Structure formats: structure tokens, C-alpha cells
Amino acid sequence: MSAITMRELTKIYPGGVRALDGLDLQIADGEFFALLGPSGCGKTTLLRTIAGLEVASTGSVSIGDRDVTNLPPGQRDVAMVFQDYALFPHMSVQDNIAYPLRIKKMDRRTRGAKAAQTAAELGLSQLLERRPGQLSGGQQQRVALARAMACHPSVFLLDEPLSNLDARLRLEARTFLKRLQRELGITTVFVTHDQAEALALADRIAVMDGGRIRQVGTPTEVFRQPANTFVAGFIGSTPMNLIHATVVDGEVAVGSVRLALPEHAHGQVADGENVVFGVRPEYLDLSSEPVAGALSGTVAVVENLGSHSLVSLDVPAPAAGDPAVSVQAVVPEGAEPTPGAAGWLVPRPGRSLLYRGGELVVAQAQPAVTV
Amino acid sequence: MSGTSVVETRERKASTVSARSAASVTVRAVLARIGRYTFLSAVLGFFALPLLWLATAPFDSQPTLTASIPEFTLDNFRTLLDNPYALPSLLNSIYLAAGAAILVVSFAALAAYALSRVRVPGRDALLYGLLLLSSIVTGTATMVPLFELAFRLNLIDSRLGVILVLSGGLLPAAIFILKDFMDTTPTSYEESARVFGASPLQIVRHIVVPVVRPGLATVTVWTVANVWGNFLVPFLLFRLPDKQPAAVIVYTLYTEGGQANLALLSTFSLLYSLPVVVMFIFVSSRYGFRFHGGIKR
């Protein structure tokens, strides 16, 4: 009903900056969708183009079965929550929530009642008379959400919804947001630069870089099978280890060490090919005894993260003369090595990936980016 | 024995020296304080005496140029009422001030909003240029061309003419002040309203104007005060005395002998300054003056 479809979307700013570059994307009805990427990747431009605050240079945007490419924001039936919430400082909470209804020419009493009702749903009943300046960050966010809900849009757009909250409140707001979206069932698109936020909230994620989409998938897909080294390095609270290697005799050779070829690459790579071996720190087991098929090195740094520790090992470079490669592994509580000790890292079977030319080695010759 | 006494004398000497130096320090501090207060009193007196004169002279039957306890009388006010131009001139001043304020505030607000939100090449140069030139527009240097222009446009003896000239002179600075207020207002307010479907005019009415209200109040007061005190432009462009504002009429209050009529002058001055004082107090209590933008968020 209110799916969002973008075709060949390109946005070039007057200065010549290409913020979106021929982008195709489909967001399903009722989906909670994340646009994830580093700053300057075009994710906010994409959100603003859906909202109508930016006009696409070429390409089209449709919401439901309506082509909205050239419609002004007010006619697109979308609601947007801004990063700074954009609550009108001179209006009370109730007037803020009622503002979209005021624009729709609803009379004062009806819109006041509707606003109060929406506020009650979000637990804001006590705050109706206050000004935005008298609210905490979390309350301001709820008011902004209530204002967006009040006009019953077919699409919600959230720009960095959690970035203005402090760390503890952010977790609370994250759960709240996910519950709210599930209950309302409205197609919601949000922008974030925080991969953990995207993984936790979204039904599907689009990872963006340089105005293009590098991968679209569920959080599990994006986390387990990053389509390219960019996504691999971006997703995950600790970045994936990406180690340059060559294929020798059906195995992955890192210097003199031979690692098992990841399953997905069986029969897809030829001997002598230069590849990148990727494995998440969570999927490397540290051993203090020599093990076959393991990367060996010296423990350089141990970072305590509470329930586990992040260990960085200096592994000698494959080619003589290169600087040592730093490989990170997560070890459970109580198993921390001491810096300076020797260690062997064994990749867990089925959890390592192989990249060729920056893209994941896949079974068929299909494009890595699937939309 | 001798050793201890030597030590004692030394200590005594040391203590007298420190006592003496302490005494000199306090003397210096007292002198400094006296000096400071004398200076402050002089400065204060310098500014307060004319005001004191303004407060007492209108009620004195024989006012002089010195401030003194008056022989109380209200005769001066009665005489002033007999002057055919005195009270109407205050009304004229109100017309001019109100007209210019409406013109300056509305045009400056629109211009400042546009300049703050739209990318105009050379915007800052334009603003600074206007600001520089504006002091000339209403200045002595352009007296002749201004008169000539008003004459050709049939704006001599027209309130509109005076209002236009004064507004022209005040607009650049008003735009400058208001643009600062607009700049500090986040664009997300307006974008948010736009997404809800508000038209540009609704955005200005519902969001922009209320948010920059302190700025508008500041510019209004500033415009009124400027017009109220302006002598040159109305003196130049009004030929008939019945349209002259108070600032010009003050100049005509002479005795038959050509001397300044201090009784009338002081009484009129008091009436002339009261409206501006009242406006300042009202606006400052209502909105609070802020010459820099930014809203508490």
C-alpha cells in the first residue's frame, strides 16, 4: 500500500557534488528500513529526497502507487522527525502535536483533543502545557514522534532518531521505537551512521557509500555475509579482520600459514589468485598452544569490554619486509592472554569469508549488489 | 641575653615596618576609593543634571539653565497648550514613527528572511555596502538631492515622503540586525512545517515570526526611537508647520526677543521624551531586548 520505490535516483547539488548516484531501492509496505553509512554517503540526502525537501536531479520516487518525484513535501503523505526534533519553541507540547492538524484546517477543539489522545498513547499526558525547552531529550523525541503520528502519514521518515540522546537513554528509546513501529505498522525509513542501531532496529538495512547502495539485506544477512569489504569493515561493533592472502592448492595462504578455504568459495577461485580473507573477531578462537591452520602472532593489546575482551595480535606479514598485520579476536572472560605472549588464532568453520576485488566470492556470476 | 634582645629589636623593627607599609596600603586604598567615587559622581552628575533639569524646569515659573528646586506651577503646560503646533506635532511624530516602523519591520523581516535562507552570490558584500551607504541617505550630505528628488516626485509636504526617506535610511541596519536573528533559527523548524504541508506564508506566520519576535521588537523600538529623534529629514521635506513632528517644533519655541523660551522648551521636551521612555519600558518588560539572536532550546 505504501511501499517506497526509487528508480535511477540521482541528486547532484549545485556545487557539483553527486550525493546520490543512480540509486535503485525498494522498501516494502510496513517495513522498518535503515539507511546506514558513514557521514557524507548520501543517506540523509536520500531521506530528504523521499520527504521532498530535496528534488531529485534525475530518476523517480513513488510512494504506494503514486509517483511523488515532483510533488511538494506537504502532498506526499509523509511525516519526518528531524535529528534536532525541530519542535517549535514558542508552542506548547499540545500545540506542537496539533500543528499538522492545524495545517489540515481542523478546528481548534478537535485538533486539541486529537493531540491529547496521541500524547496519551506516548505517555506525554502530563507534559501537554509545557514548552519544548522544558523537556528532556527523551521527552522531546516522544513529542516529535507524537507530532509525526498525529497526521496519520503513510510513511515515517526519521533522521538520526537516537543521536541526540545520551547513551543510556538511547537504548531505552531504541526499544521504544521498535515497539512503536511494530504496533503502528507504518512504513518507516530511518537514517543512522551507527551500525549497531541499524542492526537492532531495522527489518532491512541498506548500507550506503558514495551515493550508492553497497548492500541491502536483513541485519543477519548484512552481518553474516557482507557483500563487499566496505560493508564488512563497516558492520559489526568491532570491524571484520580483512587479511590479504593468495589461493594455493585450494587453501588460503597467508604467508606460510594455510587456512581452510571458506565454504562459499569452493570451486570459485583458482590457484594463485589474490584474495582477501575475512573473519570477524567474534569468530576467531585464541589458543596459547600451536594449532594447525591457525594464524600465529604475538599478543599486542588486550582491551577489556566487560563480559569479553578484545585482543589484538601482531601477525607477521605474508611478504617479508611489510609491516606486521594486526588481527583482532574476541576472547571470553577469564581467558585473556598477557601482552607479549604468543597466540594462535583458529577461524571457526563456516564463519569466514573470501573477497576478490573487494566483492564477496559468490557461487554464480550474479551481481553482488542485489536490490 | 644580648642575642635575644637583638632578635627582639629586629622583630620589632620588622613589625613596625610592616605596620607602616600596611598603613600606607590602607591609605592608598582609601584614596583610590575616594578618587573612584569622585570620578563616578562627576560622570553621573554630567549625565544626570540635564535629566534633572528636564524634570524640574517644566514646573518652574522662572526656569533658567540651571537645575533648581522649582517654584511649583503648571502654567507652562497651559501656555504650551495654547501653542497651535505643539500638541499636533506630537501626533505628527507618532504618525511618522508608526509608519516608518511598520514599513521598516515588515520589509526588513522579509528581506532578512530571504537573505538568511537563500544563497545569493555576494550577499555579505551587498549587506555591508548597503549599511555603509545608509548612513549617507538620511545624512546632511544628501540634503540637496533628497529635496530635489522629493520635489520631482511631489513628495514635499507629504508624510509618505518623509516615511519613505527615513525607512530607506533605516532599512539596511534593520535587515542586518534581523538577519542575525534569522540565521540562528534552525531551518529544520521550517522544513518540519513544510513536510506537514504548510505554505510559505503559513511558515512565516506560524513559525518564523513568533520565533524571531524579540528581534522584531528590538527593531521596532530602534526604528521608532530613530524616527522620533530625526530632525533633518522632516525639517527638509515639510514646508508647512502643521505637519512638522515634535523634533522640528522644539526648534521653533522662541520668545519674541529671539531667545530660547526655556519654560516652553523644557515643558515640550518633557512631553516629547515621555512616549519613547514609556515604549522602552513596555517593550522591554514584554519581550526583553536581545540584540543577538538565538532562542533557548
**Burial group, residue A197, by CB count within 10 angstroms (0-12, 13-18, 19+):** buried
Beta partners for A254? Answer: A257
Q: Mean pLDDT over residues B164-181, rounded?
A: 91
A46 neighbors A192 (Cβ within 8 angstroms): no
* A residues 8-37 closer than 8 Å to B (CB): 14
> Is A86 within 8 Å of chain B by CB?
yes
Q: Closest Cα of chain A to B184: distance in Å?
A: 13
How far apart (Å, rounded) are the C-alpha atoms in residues B232 and B226?
12
Name the residue ranges covered by the structural domains of chain B.
2-73, 83-286
Q: What pLDDT, on the 0 to 100 scale, is given for residue A1?
A: 60
- Parallel, antiparallel, or unpaired for β A342-347 and A295-304? antiparallel
Q: Which CATH class is domain B83-286?
A: mainly alpha
- Residues A246-266: pLDDT tens digits? 898 888 888 788 888 888 888
Mean pLDDT of chain B: 84
Question: Does B297 contact A132 at a Cβ distance shorter than 8 Å?
Answer: yes
Tell me the chain B residues in contact with residue A80 when contact means C-beta distances shorter than 8 Å. 191-192, 195
- Residues A54-111: pLDDT tens digits? 999 999 999 998 999 999 998 999 999 999 999 999 999 999 999 999 998 889 999 9
- φ/ψ of A215, rounded to 5, equals -165, 145
- Residues A213-228: pLDDT tens digits? 999 999 999 999 999 9
What domains lie within chain A, and their CATH numbers?
4-227 (3.40.50.300), 238-360 (2.40.50.140)
Residue A165 neighbours by CB under 8 Å, 6+ apart? A137, A138, A141, A173
Does residue A45 surpass a pLDDT of 50?
A: yes
Size of interface A-B (CB pairs under 8 A): 63
Grid cell at residue A117: 489522545
**C-alpha torsion B266→B272→B274→B277, nearest 10:** -120
Question: Does B192 contact A82 at a Cβ distance shorter than 8 Å?
Answer: yes
How far apart (Å, rounded) are the C-alpha atoms in residues B177 and B182?
9
Of B191, B197, B207, the CB nearest to A88: B207
For B130-185, the DSSP string reads HHHHHHHHTSGGGHHHHHHHHHHTT-TT-HHHHHHHHHHHHHHHHHHHHHHHHHTS
How far apart (Å, rounded) are the C-alpha atoms in residues A88 and A103?
14
User: Which is more confident, B10 or A314?
Assistant: A314
pLDDT band at B291 (very low <50, low <70, confident <90, very high): very low
Range from A38-52, A215-229, B282-296 carrying the lowest mean pLDDT: B282-296
pLDDT band at B6 (very low <50, low <70, confident <90, very high): low
Q: What pLDDT, on the 0 to 100 scale, is given for residue B10?
A: 58
How far apart (Å, rounded) are the C-alpha atoms in residues B98 and A31?
57
Q: Quick one: DSSP state of residue A323?
A: P
B147 neighbors B235 (Cβ within 8 angstroms): no
Q: Quick one: DSSP state of residue B254?
A: B
A149 neighbors A141 (Cβ within 8 angstroms): no
Tell me the chain B residues in contact with residue A115 when contact means C-beta distances shorter than 8 Å. none
User: Which is more confident, B39 or A168?
Assistant: B39
User: Which is more confident, B3 or A150?
Assistant: A150
The ipTM of this complex is 0.80
What single letter denotes the amino acid at residue B183? D
Q: Among candidates A23, A11, A2, which has minimal Cα distance to A207?
A: A23
Q: Among candidates A248, A275, A253, which has minimal Cα distance to A360?
A: A275
